[in-house]
Structure 1
Amino acid sequence: EFIYNCPNGRLDKKNFTDIYEKFYPNGKVDRYCEYAFNTFDRNNDGTIDFEEFLLSMAATSQGSIDDRLGFVFDMYDTSRDGLIDQKQLTSLISAMFDLLGTSACRVDCDPETLAENIMAYLDINGDKKLDKKEFIAGCKNNDSICRLLAPNI
């Protein structure tokens, strides 16, 4: 399908978003695609070539659970400092809710409160930030959090 959608061998952000829209027709994919595209585009040239695409697909579908969750963490670590703070967590939860559509969230579920609760649960050292180790351990130990933050793992 990659070659069909990208005969020149490169997938730009618009085409990438269009593909996600096919898989999530009831959701708003833009914000989530921003996270995913920036992670898949490993050389930061504004496109995803076939090798980058394959490496990213393999990272999320093969390997150990720790490796796959580590890849997800890297996708969400938008500041690239090895940490996810509460603001980043709130933003990514909002993006996940947008992606999955309104049915994914109960009426009483707001991303900011949910991020605060997840942070309190996962932040073992109490610094109000999640490092990769805390993120991986938390997702492995709580199925609900894992389904929200890493639904395809």
Structure 2
Amino acid sequence: MAAGDTQFQLVTFQLGAELYGVNIMDVKEIVKTQSVRPIPHAPHYVEGIFNLRGEIIPVMNLHKRFRLEKKSGDEFDGEMSGLIILNLDGIKISIIIDKISRVVMINSSDVKPPPQMLTGIGSEYILGVVQQGNSYLIVLDIRKLFDPKELQKLISTQN
């Protein structure tokens, strides 16, 4: 989000019981769940890597990163789960999601500062929270979720 923007778009998705959003400008694509190869000695939240059209992409598990319970299979439609491919300043990563929701337009003025602690997620990972009726949309700061040097190391050791 650039300073001065009055509106921006978020790709929203569900993880456990919560609704999250990431800036659409950081999303490259959304794909079905892929076959993931584990990486030895990777951080606990890294599921592994997969090959997407010849490109090796690390797979991050936000359930593990945020210490969230994964909903049981019958609570979510497997057709709606998958991976969101993000482009972090030239480094592509993917995050596992329970259910893709939709793209929403948000007014910058509707984004409130994150509370100190929200369902186990540290506020350092959250840009803000948007109230939507009786629920909340948590806007993630994807650049703070993952250490770029660590990601680059994961990718370079697999090529």
Q: TM-score range by the shorter chain?
A: under 0.3
Q: Structure 2 length normalisation: TM-score?
A: 0.24
Q: Structure 1 length normalisation: TM-score?
A: 0.25
Structure with a larger share of its residues in strand: 2
Q: Which of structures 1 and 2 has the larger relative contact order (alpha carbons within 8 angstroms, sep 6+)?
A: 2
Structure with a larger share of its residues in helix: 1
